[in-house]
Structure 1
């Protein structure tokens, strides 16, 4: 179970999301804008926010950036926009997941559960203690990805700083550890039109990142090439 705030100004959609996620066993509150969200945060503990971009008053990007500046709360951006630049901006301001409407409710709930497990893993790695908010959580992780400082931390506690493009690339991989991320998705996240077989810029970036990581961490980064698909982060990882 996760404690969720759904921030959506379209009342019918907000009601559907609250009812569905509640029926899945989560503790859910609906908010129509940033002000109502702040009031909800003052009155209860929230683990994950499902946040629309186009809101009256303060927009979703601004809310996400404001919350991320002082909180590790989980953020799922839910928006009608499908532009690549919006996805990049959403990740840059600290969103953990970016989904485009119309969204499949089962997929959204699956993302909530996955994000909840990752958050628990990160909390275990950071504190060394076990909480009981998410009883189906995964085992403690070894690698840590710090979204605020743009660093990847090895099991031994050594860190490597990422560039902007490396951060976009790594954000895609660590939010779906063990799952291949397609070259087309990577290219689009980096602001390109899509995968071009003649464009080797991503492969070059990965080679540089691997070399930089091995020099800084003293071990091989668990970034694996997946034949005919793309890349995957082949290790357990926590986000913070």
Structure 2
């Protein structure tokens, strides 16, 4: 049973959402603040955290950043703020989903179920024994795997040549999914902005560049390999390395 924590300072909304998700078959706890969330996480783990942005003591952005540093739980940010900047900040801080109030509880339920399915696939893949006999070479030993990146569009991971995997947030996944469709070809900033935020690109915003910078650091820290994403002056970004997509690398390269 998936474990959910709802962090919302408005008591009626918190209680209603906790009750609704409990009736959906989840194990749900409520917290009124980031401090209460911290206390819950010290005694129990969570698969999904539903986090309000507008809390009086500590805003949800700060809580999300702190939680993301210590937990692999998926984060759904729930907020009355509909502005582009707030949406980008929320996703860049590690939120998997950003929902604007008022929100239908059925939409929250659908997003929770989608995130839980993704988490279950990751856990299942990590615990499943390899079907290959001991004498068969591992996938990472093939020449192609040593040269190519693998964009796993099922588990939301990027595997460096050699097989070291990096888990991707929703924003990182959406960004890379645009680039790996046609390696070597630039994707415009306008197309990237539309995919990530649903809005036209703001030439005064540095959010896309900040996303790329953080993603490069993250990938290199985890894999020791530089991410082959390059800026194309006056256009946007391109993935300039060899890459295949799909859960097993049997996608277009």
For the aligned pair, the TM-score class normalised by the smaller chain equals 0.5 to 0.7
Q: Count residues in correspondence.
A: 182
**1:208-223 alignment, distance < 5 Å:** 208-209=238-239, 212-214=240-242, 219-220=243-244, 222=245
> CA distance change for structure 1 residues 19 and 169 in 2, over 3 Å: closer, same or farther?
same
Residue 33 (1) aligns with residue 36 (2) = no
Residue 46 (1) aligns with residue 46 (2) = yes
> CA distance change for structure 1 residues 12 and 57 in 2, over 3 Å: closer, same or farther?
same
Per-residue CA distance 1:74-98 (angstroms, 9 max, x = gap): 1111111111111111111111111
Which protein shows a greater Rg? 2
Which residue number in structure 2 is paired with residue 100 of structure 1?
100
> CA distance change for structure 1 residues 2 and 111 in 2, over 3 Å: closer, same or farther?
same
> CA distance change for structure 1 residues 70 and 213 in 2, over 3 Å: closer, same or farther?
farther
Which stretches in structure 2 are left out of the alignment for 5+ residues? 130-150, 178-190, 203-231, 249-253
Contact 1:2 1:47 in 2 (8 A): yes
User: In structure 2, how many angstroms separate the alpha carbons of the residues matched to 1:109 and 1:51?
Assistant: 14
User: In structure 2, how many angstroms separate the alpha carbons of the residues matched to 1:47 and 1:37?
Assistant: 13
Which residue number in structure 1 is paired with residue 159 of structure 2?
153
> CA distance change for structure 1 residues 29 and 58 in 2, over 3 Å: closer, same or farther?
same
User: In structure 2, how many angstroms separate the alpha carbons of the residues matched to 1:34 and 1:24?
Assistant: 25
Shift in Å, 1:169:
6.0
Which stretches in structure 1 are left out of the alignment for 5+ residues? 131-141, 147-151, 175-182, 194-200, 223-234
TM-score (norm 2): 0.61
Per-residue CA distance 1:3-26 (angstroms, 9 max, x = gap): 100000011111110111011011
Shift in Å, 1:189:
5.7
Contact 2:87 2:197 in 1 (8 A): no
TM-score (norm 1): 0.64
Which residue number in structure 2 is paired with residue 7 of structure 1?
7
Shift in Å, 1:187:
6.3
- Tell me: higher relative CO, structure 1 or 2? Use CA pairs within 8 A at least 6 residues apart: 1
Which residue number in structure 2 is paired with residue 186 of structure 1?
195
Which residue number in structure 2 is paired with residue 170 of structure 1?
173
